[in-house]
A and B are shown apart, each in its own frame.
Chain A
Amino acid sequence: MANSDCIVIQGSNMAECHPVGFQWVSEAKARGAKVIHIDPRFTRTTAVADKHVPIRAGTDIVLLGALINYAITNELWFKEYVSAYTNAPMIINEKFKDTEDLEGLFSGFDSETGAYDMATWAYEMEDDGTSQAGGERGQGDGSADEGDAEGHGASSGESHGSGGPPIGSGRPKRDETLQHPRSVFQILKRHYARYTPQLVEETCGISPADFEYLAKTITENSNRDRTTCFAYAVGWTQHSQGAQFIRTAAILQLLLGNMGRPGGGIMALRGHATIQGSTDIPTLFNLLPGYLPMPKVGTHDTFQQWVDAVGTKEQKGFWADADVYAVNLLKAWWGDAATKDNDWAFDYLPRLSGAHGTYQTAMGMLRDEVDGYFLLGQNPAVGSANGRMQRMAMSHLKWLVVRDFSLIESATWWKDGPEIETGELVTEDIDTEVFFLPAANHTEKAGSFTQTQRMVQWRHQAVKPPEDARSELQFMFELGVKIREKLAGSTDWRDRPLLDLTWDYPVDEEGDPDPVSVLAEINGRFESGPDAGKPLSSYTQMKADGSTSGGCWIYTGVYADGVNQAARRVPGKDQDEIASQWAWAWPANRRILYNRASADPEGRPWSERKKLIWWDAEAGKWTGPDVPDFPADRAPGAQPEPGAGGPAALAGDDPFIMQADGKGWLFAPNGMVDGPLPTHYEPPESHVGNPLYAQQNSPSRVMFAREDNLYAPGAGEPGGDVYPYVFTTYRLTEHHTAGGMSRTLPYLSELQPEMFCEISPELAELTGVEPYGWATIVSPRAAIEVRALVTERMKPLKVRGRTVHQIGLPYHWGVGSEAVVSGDSANDLLGLVLDPNTQIQEAKSNACAMVPGRRPRGPELLDMIDKYRSEAGITLATGHTRITVPDEQSGTLPPGVDPSAGESFHWPSAGAAEAEEEEAAVEHEAQAAQDARTGASGAQPDGGPNGKSPHGTGTAGHETSEED
């Protein structure tokens, strides 16, 4: 980021939430870069930015789409880059219909399930190929699970955390002039034609002057000599179309030629020490290590079906070797039991049948379908959306294991949780058995964290853990040993995967396994041949014949030469800016992904100022300070042999080596479950009508129409004025997520002792809330009490004639008796509506009411929540209307009709975008953010009524929360 000429921070409060990383923004600014903060709130980031652009939360696609339109209309896009490195010239299927044609839906929508069939979004192929959309790395959840209609969305945006989905075989048709009406470029141009400064003003609340400043600053700093960087956090991901927010930025960055170049890219600011690592080596339902999908019943029934869905031998790039990565993983796990004859023990893998995410699992607990639950450093009682649902779910468990440093709220809800106070739960009646096992902390064990730029950093052990505290490594290892002992001798085929598991790690005198031995397994090794036993140094050494193994192919090289590369610590001051000898970044220690794009098609740096890697014709290889993210000896003009597949099929100007066509995707012909192009829909509980389409909310969002997940009426629906304000949740510097590692520490608790809200003087006046006094905030899910911080940092916004009042709420506090400080939890206010690509909840734009004073205690609290619900006339259906286009399947209205034009109601909307945290999905990595990658797919039957509703009905609904 220090090399950027312009940094746009949107959906993040970086100075507050990533303060030490923010030094690089400051550094860029000191070198002359412009820093622009786009956010509903004025924050610590805003305070040091050149410009603050306040925005109504949830409208980011409108703003970014207008920037795309601005760049195209004014001919400010980077023509050579776009023509050579993106899919702008590709021709799309003639059956494709845009949202502009169908009043807010793309072609292929199934109104029964809320899912898209992506076939019509596919490329048109030259005669020798078959076009199809349908690849599905990680669409591990497309189909519904019978008997469980709750939000089985696709999820799996993460499965593309290392590159895009397949596109079928053959060569896509191209029009190098970009004039073909079905070329991606022309489709893009038409799609965003209505995203004008006027639309931005009336939808986002941003003045034309501010828009002009933003558009000029970004485009003036995006060319051969200059680069612009975007930074975001969960202010983008925690929306019902969070992945599409990020894609809009990716499209803009590709159009402006900012991907794969120094000071460019999209920086995903993630919120946990190894949130990236736990996505790469995932403790996630839909993924296996290295972004291989967990197999799904019905579509991945055989090994071949499974690997072909990830990448086929005919396609370009490194995903064509999906079978190799899969065999190496299976070999690492099941050793000699994984053979060619048994398809490398593929059948030892369990199968998915839908979305089995954390929220679906909580609902399974409520149905008594889950007996036991392990919490490994996460505090869902406070950190997850709809906290009450989480706590009630845990009360249905037979047993709960909490591994943490102290007694977090998720360990003590059975005696001091909010439901004990209201009488909904009675301690003596709760049958759940709870084990609290103390955990070793980061100084008491060795191991690696992967930070937000894919860099794997090793921590050395400083001391031994005290008393009963143990590392997770030791706990998991010993649990595995005991389970295997208990099953020893079993002849049940169901136990074979456990008994055949490679589970023999060397341990120290305390029984703690050697973490380096685990790292070595992740890295991989030669299983046979002259080098048998030696570590692999690159994933290109992997073979699909069982002669090599490796637990996570993208990490291969982290233990090259038997050296723990993640532990390298050549001081930064002794290295160049790339600092390639500090720790190790996946893949192959590359620090900037897709850096082939930092050179022009002929292999020359776009400019001296922005050079990173280039073609050395004499040596016949790519060179430069970073590791080239490209076949090292592939000449810029190289063309693949006809019929070539995989890495060999990459032309010399295909920089996006993980994409099936080698190009950055302006248009996603496959993979994004909610549409090939980002389109604006209003947030679920928005009070504002969608100015673009009759379709008010994302038609693909995952909904759960349940008594414990009620939603406020939206725009145009009666009762919406009962919850007239908007709240948004966020982090503070002094606390961390749900507080398990901060509210338990005296220093940090003293710095930020008490739960509060931020409101404007105007809202304080309107509601009668006194500065520093108490206020109670009520949503359809809960009511919480907070202290009021009245500040001009919060500004009411004028949107379409209405004043929008926003309330800011940090979400770090929770109710309990063990932490140094406690307080009501903001996440209790949130409900569950999920992004179908990522299964992440909408948390940044929510409806609420606010009154002065403390909340009632005991059962009266429930009465208060009920009173508001009945006043608003809330039913299960409220906010859960899927389709609001008049004739559901296709639009009968001509494009351009403003569905909300005749409505009288618009109130507030918007919540903040901000926050930080984790998250998510498509993101990953920083710089380089993959261009247009996309999410995966799937269907998602939702539990909500999906019948049509009267035109203009809004919706409400929404969101959730955060945390950890």
Chain B
Amino acid sequence: MARLSFLEWPVIRQFTSGDVTGRGPAVTSGKTRAVEPRTTTADRVVQSVCPYCAVGCGQRVFVKDEKVVQIEGDPDSPVSRGRLCPKGAASEQLVNSPRRVKKVLYRRPKGTDWEELDLDTAVEMIADRFLEARRNHWQDADPQGRPLRRTMGIASLGGATIDNEENYLAKKLFTAAGAIQMENQARI
């Protein structure tokens, strides 16, 4: 460790730095002083909204090298005034959690484990199954002959954690397909 120069003595720093009570920068170690917060080295800051409860706290997402490196409360938000709860404060791990799965997985009928599958293939397979299920359980009319024009073969659940625009497209597509069984967290 390098010798402290006279000017580096804490008591001197205490008076030269303006931290006269010795509870601030005057008593930090060299290591601490060398640390730079991720928020200052970020390439950019993007305004966002917390994805947990419905309070709608403002977030600032710090990005470096095209990776999310930190998420903090947005002081500009009149709703949250910069605060986040433990969930919102942990939301950086929604991006970088080791448990996150980034590849498509597939379990075949009677299979005992996951297999990998190409994304395009998966979507193609799902589209085929969607149409087949739609046909299998299509109902033209009720027993009295009144038109129903629907399928009971497909259902969907979830919507309160995805965007309004996403809910809109989902509802539009399912309704056009005649799939009425759409539900989300508002039901429970």
Cα-based distance from A377 to B117 in the complex (angstroms): 21
Chain A binder among B2-10, B15-23, B163-171: B163-171
B81 → chain A closest CB, angstroms: 7
Cα-based distance from A469 to B101 in the complex (angstroms): 8
Contacts A298-B146, A372-B153, A472-B162: A841 and B188 contacting too (C-beta < 8 A)? yes
| Cβ-defined contact, A961 with B188, below 8 A | yes
Contacts A370-B153, A374-B155: A482 and B123 contacting too (C-beta < 8 A)? yes
Chain B positions within 8 Å of A453 at CB level: 56
Contact mask for chain A residues 350-377; partner B; CB cutoff 8 A; 1 contact, 0 none: 1111001110010011000111111111
Cα-based distance from A494 to B119 in the complex (angstroms): 29
Taking a contact as CB atoms closer than 8 A, the residue among A272, A361, A450, A734 that contacts B181 in the complex is: A361
Chain A positions within 8 Å of B122 at CB level: 435, 437
Please classify the interface of chain A as helix (H, G, I), strand (E, B), loop, or mixed, using the class held by over half of its residues: loop
Cα-based distance from A21 to B88 in the complex (angstroms): 13
- Is A176 located at the chain interface by the 8 A CB criterion? no
| Cβ-defined contact, A572 with B76, below 8 A | yes
| Cβ-defined contact, B180 with A356, below 8 A | yes
Contact mask for chain B residues 100-130; partner A; CB cutoff 8 A; 1 contact, 0 none: 1111111111101110010100111111111
Taking a contact as CB atoms closer than 8 A, the residue among B46, B58, B153 that contacts A461 in the complex is: B46
Cα-based distance from A284 to B170 in the complex (angstroms): 11
Contact mask for chain A residues 731-746; partner B; CB cutoff 8 A; 1 contact, 0 none: 0011111000110111
Cα-based distance from A558 to B145 in the complex (angstroms): 42
| Cβ-defined contact, A436 with B104, below 8 A | yes
Cα-based distance from A384 to B186 in the complex (angstroms): 12
A585 → chain B closest CB, angstroms: 11
Contacts A333-B172, A494-B138, A569-B47: A373 and B163 contacting too (C-beta < 8 A)? no
Range of interface residues on chain A? 35 or more
- Is A552 located at the chain interface by the 8 A CB criterion? yes
Contact mask for chain A residues 466-490; partner B; CB cutoff 8 A; 1 contact, 0 none: 1111111101111110110011000
- Is B187 located at the chain interface by the 8 A CB criterion? yes
A720 → chain B closest CB, angstroms: 27
- Is B50 located at the chain interface by the 8 A CB criterion? yes
Chain B positions within 8 Å of A443 at CB level: 46, 48, 61, 68, 71, 94-95
Taking a contact as CB atoms closer than 8 A, the residue among A297, A347, A447, A513 that contacts B164 in the complex is: A447
| Cβ-defined contact, A747 with B93, below 8 A | yes
A3 → chain B closest CB, angstroms: 14
Chain B positions within 8 Å of A480 at CB level: 169, 173
Chain B positions within 8 Å of A504 at CB level: none
Chain B binder among A99-107, A608-616, A918-926: A918-926
A382-441 at interface with B (beta carbon < 8 Å): 383-385, 398-399, 401, 403, 405-407, 414-415, 427-438, 441
Taking a contact as CB atoms closer than 8 A, the residue among B50, B81, B110 that contacts A572 in the complex is: B81
| Cβ-defined contact, A351 with B97, below 8 A | no
B151 → chain A closest CB, angstroms: 8
- Max chain A CB contacts within 10 Å: which of B81, B108, B176, B181? B176
| Cβ-defined contact, A370 with B152, below 8 A | yes
| Cβ-defined contact, B130 with A483, below 8 A | yes
7 additional A-B residue pairs with CB within 8 Å, beyond A269-B54, A282-B184, A364-B155:
A351-B150, A383-B188, A407-B101, A434-B107, A460-B46, A486-B131, A746-B97
Contact mask for chain A residues 10-29; partner B; CB cutoff 8 A; 1 contact, 0 none: 00000001111101000000
Chain B positions within 8 Å of A486 at CB level: 127-128, 131
| Cβ-defined contact, B131 with A487, below 8 A | yes
Cα-based distance from A283 to B163 in the complex (angstroms): 11
Contacts A372-B155, A522-B165, A572-B78: A20 and B88 contacting too (C-beta < 8 A)? yes
- Is A501 located at the chain interface by the 8 A CB criterion? yes
- Is A277 located at the chain interface by the 8 A CB criterion? yes
| Cβ-defined contact, A963 with B175, below 8 A | no
> What would be 10 A-B contacts, judged by CB atoms less than 8 Å apart?
A275-B160, A347-B147, A350-B178, A353-B148, A372-B130, A378-B160, A445-B163, A483-B173, A582-B77, A744-B97
- Is B67 located at the chain interface by the 8 A CB criterion? yes
Contact mask for chain A residues 937-964; partner B; CB cutoff 8 A; 1 contact, 0 none: 0000000000000000000000011111
- Is B149 located at the chain interface by the 8 A CB criterion? yes
- Is A158 located at the chain interface by the 8 A CB criterion? yes
Chain A minimum-CB-distance residue to B120: A478
Chain B positions within 8 Å of A920 at CB level: 186-187
| Cβ-defined contact, B154 with A273, below 8 A | no
Chain B positions within 8 Å of A458 at CB level: 49
Cα-based distance from A964 to B148 in the complex (angstroms): 31
| Cβ-defined contact, B188 with A964, below 8 A | yes
Chain A positions within 8 Å of B87 at CB level: 733-736, 741-742, 748
Cα-based distance from A501 to B173 in the complex (angstroms): 8
B10 → chain A closest CB, angstroms: 34
- Is A456 located at the chain interface by the 8 A CB criterion? yes
Contact mask for chain B residues 27-56; partner A; CB cutoff 8 A; 1 contact, 0 none: 000000000000000001011111111111
Chain B positions within 8 Å of A744 at CB level: 97, 99-100
- Is A59 located at the chain interface by the 8 A CB criterion? no
- Max chain A CB contacts within 10 Å: which of B46, B53, B88, B108? B53
Taking a contact as CB atoms closer than 8 A, the residue among A18, A582, A839 that contacts B187 in the complex is: A839
B6 → chain A closest CB, angstroms: 43
Taking a contact as CB atoms closer than 8 A, the residue among A297, A361, A405 that contacts B101 in the complex is: A405
Taking a contact as CB atoms closer than 8 A, the residue among A146, A376, A476 that contacts B158 in the complex is: A376
- Is A648 located at the chain interface by the 8 A CB criterion? no
Contacts A462-B63, A918-B160: A501 and B168 contacting too (C-beta < 8 A)? no
Contacts A352-B180, A371-B136, A473-B165: A406 and B97 contacting too (C-beta < 8 A)? yes
Which 3 residue pairs are nearest across A and B when measured between Cβ atoms? A451-B56, A572-B78, A447-B163
A495 → chain B closest CB, angstroms: 9
B128 → chain A closest CB, angstroms: 7
| Cβ-defined contact, B168 with A284, below 8 A | no
Contacts A351-B149, A435-B125: A284 and B182 contacting too (C-beta < 8 A)? yes
Taking a contact as CB atoms closer than 8 A, the residue among B56, B75, B148 that contacts A350 in the complex is: B148
Chain A positions within 8 Å of B144 at CB level: 298
- Is B159 located at the chain interface by the 8 A CB criterion? yes
Taking a contact as CB atoms closer than 8 A, the residue among B102, B105, B155, B168 that contacts A373 in the complex is: B155
Chain A positions within 8 Å of B127 at CB level: 479, 482-483, 486
| Cβ-defined contact, B163 with A449, below 8 A | yes
Chain B positions within 8 Å of A275 at CB level: 54, 160, 184-186
Chain A positions within 8 Å of B129 at CB level: 371-372, 398-399, 433
Contacts A146-B142, A274-B164, A919-B188: A571 and B76 contacting too (C-beta < 8 A)? yes
Contacts A275-B185, A482-B123, A820-B99: A463 and B66 contacting too (C-beta < 8 A)? yes
- Is B26 located at the chain interface by the 8 A CB criterion? no
A503 → chain B closest CB, angstroms: 8
Taking a contact as CB atoms closer than 8 A, the residue among B51, B90, B107, B156 that contacts A442 in the complex is: B51
| Cβ-defined contact, B105 with A436, below 8 A | yes
Taking a contact as CB atoms closer than 8 A, the residue among B84, B123, B181, B184 that contacts A478 in the complex is: B123
- Is A82 located at the chain interface by the 8 A CB criterion? no
- Is A166 located at the chain interface by the 8 A CB criterion? no
- Is A668 located at the chain interface by the 8 A CB criterion? no
Chain B minimum-CB-distance residue to A923: B186
B68 → chain A closest CB, angstroms: 5
Contacts A18-B55, A358-B157, A444-B95: A522 and B133 contacting too (C-beta < 8 A)? no
| Cβ-defined contact, B49 with A457, below 8 A | yes
Chain A positions within 8 Å of B138 at CB level: 494
- Is B79 located at the chain interface by the 8 A CB criterion? yes
Chain A positions within 8 Å of B140 at CB level: 494
Contacts A497-B177, A519-B165: A357 and B54 contacting too (C-beta < 8 A)? no
